[in-house]
Amino acid sequence: MKPVGEHTRRSILVVSRHAHPGSSLPRSALDTALAAAAFDQPVTLLFQGEGLLQLLPAQDSRAAGVRNLRKVIDSLPLYDIETVYVDAIAAAAFGIARDSLPASARWLDTAGVRQLLASHDHVLGF
């Protein structure tokens, strides 16, 4: 039994699958990851499907009246989130080149995505 006051650190995987402008889900995914990191919980981000579009540098979110999430993504190392993971199959489908993504992006094939999902205590999808 754990002593009173001792907390268990559970790994959290935040999966972002939605494009940026017009949806609050991408911002919610990032806010969740930042909050977990601020409370010293191990957190990992995986971008799949349209969620990959958040990683592109040339986002114009002003028309939607929301903040450019790429700037938030670029600040993740300040919260000890050093790496973000990218579904390579989705990136190929969208024609996204590796050099257009942040330097912290690591590409995963289908097996790598499955392994990432299986290796976390909690998986939160947005």
Tell me the domain boundaries of the chain. Answer: 12-125
Give the closest residue to 70 by CA, choosing from 101, 91, 49, 46: 101
What pLDDT shows up at residue 63? Answer: 55
pLDDT at residue 101, as a whole number: 92
Residue 71 token pair: 């700037």
Per residue in 6-64, pLDDT tens?
Answer: 456 689 999 999 986 667 899 999 999 999 999 999 999 999 999 999 898 876 555 55
CA separation for the pair 120, 69 (Å, rounded): 24
**CATH fold of 12-125, please?**
Hypothetical Protein Ychn; Chain: A, (3.40.1260)
Q: What is the DSSP letter of 57?
A: S
Distances (CA, A) of 12 to 7, 15, 49, 65: 15, 10, 20, 30
Show the tokens assigned to 70. 């790429």
The pLDDT tens digits of the residues spanning 72-109 come to 899 999 999 999 999 999 999 999 999 999 989 999 99
